[in-house]
Structure 1
Amino acid sequence: MKTNGSIGSGNSDSNKGLGLFRATGIYVGAILGSGVLVLPAIAAREAGPASLLAWALLLVFCIPVAFSFAEMSRQQPDAGGIAHFVKRAFGRRASVVAGYLFYFSIPFGAPATAVIGGNYIAHAVGGGRETAVLAAAVILLAAFASNAVGIRMSSRIQLALMVLLVGLLALAVALAVPHAKAENFQPFAPHGYWAVGGAASLLFFCFAGWEAVLHLAGEFRNPGRDLRRATWLTLMVVGTVYIGVVAVSVAVLGPQLPGTAVPVAELLERGLGSLAAPLTAVAAAVLTFGPINTFVAGASRLGAALASDGVLPPPLARGAGRGQVPAGSLAVLAVLTLLSFAAAITGLTDMQFQIGAASACFTAVTAFGLAAGIRLLRPHSAAWHGVIVAAAVMVAVLLFSGWALAAPLLLAAAAVAVGRRFGRGGEQTEPAPEAAHAVPAVQPPAAVHP
């Protein structure tokens, strides 16, 4: 995978990169997504109040995942993200598989995310299916339009929206707490504790996103410093919001939670009555736009990097430089996403299918990245031990994906076929793991001019 810039001293362009707070806004936007609007109810149907354990375990699991990815990106920021690190660790063909899994998962995940937000908005304003479809379409188009004007403007928009979002969710929790009942936690595990594993495989949709930001690390003003700080801030914000919303949902809605399609809306309605509708609509729009915006930003840059490496059509490589708009890759993603959205609204697929396929792909990509971390990070360091534990957990979560495993398997088969076709000229020599361990922290990469 080709890097976006040379490793060396900073330059005047580095001052135009993303600072800590805008970087944190992108991180939070990638992780804190629309899944929290519906997945508390879906997980409760799967495991009852014990689904809280799945949320908590995944949050703890995110710590080594987030910091191992941050450490690898801090050492060598690259638009290829996980695919770039997989190439360094295992070679070109493996990196093609990782790249395809992430790039082509976006057409699954983005429409599902938009439909979730659209349904919430329709519920809030009293509209029907047409309102939900229209709202979902507007959110999708807004995310692609935001990325078309460039990452600088997109990051400003996202930071403002994330501040608004966290405030709205905190308000929902605070207003609902007086209605909480301890008996709503009984029985705690009506389907047994084994069901917590099934809930965790679905909930990974809410925790995917660390890999998306890797593709944007080269846009950070000071990745060596800000990646770690942004990671800590994001973990604190996401952990507080997820555990707060889910715990209060169980405590307030109790047996009604598995049967509701709009748990956060019901929390707001308990405290605000009719005033909850506009706030619910705003929260749904922001929660939906944030992750789509970040994932499209990361995937479009990955597509340009894959095209530069010869495993996607060459026109997609346009705009691969730092600060540029990867117009060709972005356009392909937009077409595929809108086709998938059309399939969803016409009934050819459903939301659970798209969430399951996207979650399985993101889980597989994360597992790839963690496996690369075992080879690339310094042996016996804290990050190295953490990534081993995280990789084992990730494989276990992947095995709970069931039928959804078909999506990453088919994409992997396509990537292998493409890798064989384009890899006959021989792979480039990869650095030995020992050399990779010695890669120092770098200054922001220099700009690349077409």
Structure 2
Amino acid sequence: MRERKLGPVLLSGLIVGPILGSGIILLPPIIFGKTGDYAVFAWFIMIIISFLFASLFGKLSVEFPNESGVAHTIELAFGQHIKQLTSVFFIIAGSMGPVAVLMTASQYLKALFKNNDWPLEIFGIILMMICLFILLSNTSSVGKVSFIFSTAATVVLLSGGISSILHTKDKAFIKTPFHLDDFGYSILLLFWTLVGWEIIGNYSLDVKNRNRTIPQAIVISSAVITTVCIVVAAAYQWIDLHHAHTHLKLTIILIPMLGTFAYPTMAFITTILCMSTYLLVTGGVSRLIASETKKMTLISYRSKTNIPIGSIGLLTIVHAFVFILLFLHLINVEQIVGIANAFFISNAICGVLSAYKLLLGKFSKSLSIILIICFLIILSFSSLWTLLMIALITTFYLIRHFIWVRQLKKSATNSQGKLRF
């Protein structure tokens, strides 16, 4: 039986869902709250960076196809220790980010059940336990369910956004003052919308005619993501908020189209979408942890059906600890997103550096340099403690890498000496 290969439309469908994810619901209110009327410009900047990033990773996927995606190109370019460094970055981001995803769903569930006085963290932990059951059950349909609800959420949000734009506040769209720190920090938070483009590489062996399909899929996906993000962000920013309550968050943009049905619709879409995102990220990170800790029997333990039970359990404990920190008000969702994004950016920088080393041509190298500069600028808006942690981890793995390179050279020199003798 002939294996079915992915075309540009199907590949785009698999890409759009993970990239939009929960970010399209979580971020518009946060970004507007940080930057005011300049929010839509922050979205535009990140979308441009996103398209450039996708183009570069698309080219990597064409030239170096492998189901491991970016991790494969990083190992080709720099060796196993730098690959391990990027894995650590991704694991730390995956230890923080999924909690923010479930907290987003919790906000909408709590708004739906108005008479319930449970704290948001309780809703989040309940959703986490449901996700844990699904992860341990190895439900193979998670990806399909995620795709279906991502598509439904995209259609509903786009339709509601277009409807809401007709109810704009007034004609003067720029009224709030500009603050560089807030604007830069907003772009850091918006990196959440860029995470997911790496998935192109994971499908590079499953597409037909990579040279044509991958670039076409990037264009289609970018068009859809750009349209949805700008419409939703603009709708939330420009809709008349004077007659609405702020706790409704993004539900506001559905009210002109759905009326009272906007509340349950948004709660349902958000919950399913956020749970799907949690399952995809946590599932991926748990498998990465299991593969990187093979010598640690407890953490790398897998069931007979190859479920990484040990690493899933470890991530669940870490996520529960983050929920406790949230409950004690020692951290908030915005800070979680900021920390996770800083490590996602660090991971992305390693990927772009591998593109600079592996791809030929002035255009690819120039694009790599531009993206590295952009990412470093965005990363600079992270907290000092986060930057210090990234610097320490990077230094540790760079030292290991240089020791390894030195040993290789020493071994090669000794081998040549023996051959001469």
Q: What's the TM-score, normalizing by structure 2?
A: 0.82
More deviation, 102-111/403-412: 403-412
AA aligned to 2:33 is R
- Three-state SS of the structure 1 residue aligned to 2:88 is helix
AA aligned to 1:360 is A
Q: Deviations over 1:124-165 (max 9, x none)?
A: 332545274344234434545555555852221111111211
Structure-2 separation of matches of 1:336 and 1:221: 36
Structure-2 separation of matches of 1:77 and 1:345: 44
Residue equivalent to 2:110: 122
1:375 paired with 2:357, answer yes
- Corresponding residue to 1:202 among 177, 184, 189: 189
Is the 1:179–1:252 contact (alpha carbons within 8 Å) kept by the matching residues of 2?
Answer: yes
Structure-2 separation of matches of 1:80 and 1:313: 22
Structure-2 separation of matches of 1:123 and 1:134: 14
Is the 2:181–2:381 contact (alpha carbons within 8 Å) kept by the matching residues of 1?
Answer: no
Structure 1: segments with no counterpart, 5+ residues: 1-11, 430-450
Residue equivalent to 1:302: 288
More deviation, 96-105/201-210: 201-210
Equivalent residues in 2 for 1:251-400, closer than 5 Å: 251-253=238-240, 260-307=246-293, 313=296, 325-380=307-362, 382-400=363-381
Q: Deviations over 1:23-75 (max 9, x none)?
A: 54442232113233342232223322112111001101111211222332344
User: How big is the shift at 1:101?
Assistant: 0.4
- Corresponding residue to 1:247 among 228, 234, 237: 234
More deviation, 342-351/394-403: 342-351
User: How big is the shift at 1:428?
Assistant: 11
AA aligned to 1:286 is I
- Corresponding residue to 2:152 among 164, 168, 176: 164
Residue equivalent to 2:418: none
Distance 1:142 1:102, change over 3 A: same
Q: Deviations over 1:319-377 (max 9, x none)?
A: 79xx9655544443333323323432343432122111101111111111111111111
User: How big is the shift at 1:248?
Assistant: 1.2
Equivalent residues in 2 for 1:5-84, closer than 5 Å: 15=3, 23-78=11-66, 80-84=68-72
Structure-2 separation of matches of 1:150 and 1:423: 38
More deviation, 166-175/262-271: 262-271
Structure 2: segments with no counterpart, 5+ residues: 411-421
AA aligned to 2:108 is Y
Q: What's the TM-score, normalizing by structure 1?
A: 0.77
Is the 1:105–1:361 contact (alpha carbons within 8 Å) kept by the matching residues of 2?
Answer: yes
Is the 2:92–2:340 contact (alpha carbons within 8 Å) kept by the matching residues of 1?
Answer: no
Distance 1:132 1:269, change over 3 A: farther
Distance 1:133 1:402, change over 3 A: closer
Distance 1:365 1:39, change over 3 A: same
Is the 1:106–1:337 contact (alpha carbons within 8 Å) kept by the matching residues of 2?
Answer: no
AA aligned to 2:177 is P
Distance 1:424 1:313, change over 3 A: farther
Larger-Rg structure: 2
Residue equivalent to 1:233: 220
Distance 1:260 1:415, change over 3 A: farther
- Corresponding residue to 1:186 among 174, 190, 204: 174
- Three-state SS of the structure 1 residue aligned to 2:239 is helix
Q: Deviations over 1:107-138 (max 9, x none)?
A: 11000111011112211332545274344234
Residue equivalent to 1:107: 95
AA aligned to 1:313 is M
Structure-2 separation of matches of 1:66 and 1:392: 16
Distance 1:138 1:161, change over 3 A: farther
Q: Deviations over 1:74-121 (max 9, x none)?
A: 444446543432222223322221110001211110001110111122
AA aligned to 1:45 is G
More deviation, 348-357/370-379: 348-357
- Three-state SS of the structure 2 residue aligned to 1:105 is helix
1:95 paired with 2:83, answer yes
Is the 1:124–1:280 contact (alpha carbons within 8 Å) kept by the matching residues of 2?
Answer: no
Residue equivalent to 1:442: none
AA aligned to 1:363 is I
Residue equivalent to 2:419: none
Q: What fraction of aligned residue pairs are identical, expressed as a percent? A: 20
Is the 1:111–1:341 contact (alpha carbons within 8 Å) kept by the matching residues of 2?
Answer: yes
Distance 1:176 1:159, change over 3 A: same
Distance 1:113 1:64, change over 3 A: same
Is the 2:68–2:202 contact (alpha carbons within 8 Å) kept by the matching residues of 1?
Answer: no
